[in-house]
Amino acid sequence: KWPNDVLVDGRKLAGILIESRLGAENRVVVIGIGLNVGMTSFPAGLRQPATSLRLAAPRPPARAALASALLDSLHRTARLAFHGWEELRARFHQRDAFRGVRLRAESAGGACEGTGAGIDGEGCFRITRADGRTETLRDAHSLTPLASR
């Protein structure tokens, strides 16, 4: 797993969680999407600033149209993933909010600080440490931007 937030102007609009079981005979993928649609305020103490479609879009779409567009996008993305990871990876790279950003990454193995270095060929998050080493984090579950020092 790696962080999977959808950001608008540095604020979290949505989160996506993908779980999979990829066996020789069966491939199962479950996708969960949480999307802030109509919220105008958020609880104090959130780890990360949030936004909603109502706040971020000049004219938010109707929920039915939004659901239809989301399903169409998921279908197109799944086709890309099955026919070639490189194009999907390139699209992700263009939208990677953490590439080149100083951050703290937390994973099952502990926490580390460095600069976001994108994802590798298997979709794992990479971080470049202060000493110049680039590490691959296969199970990063939290990325927190650090203030410039």
Look over the chain and give the mean of its residue pLDDT values, rounded to a whole number.
Answer: 87
User: Position of tokens 């993928």?
Assistant: 29
Identify which of 142, 106, 138 has the alpha carbon closest to the alpha carbon of residue 120: 138
Identify the pLDDT of residue 5: 86
Q: What is the pLDDT of residues 118-148, one digit of tens each?
A: 988 888 889 999 999 999 988 777 888 887 6
Identify the pLDDT of residue 69: 94
Measured N-to-C along each axis, helices 63-83 and 85-95 cross at an angle, to the nearest 10 degrees, of 130
Residue-level length of the chain: 149
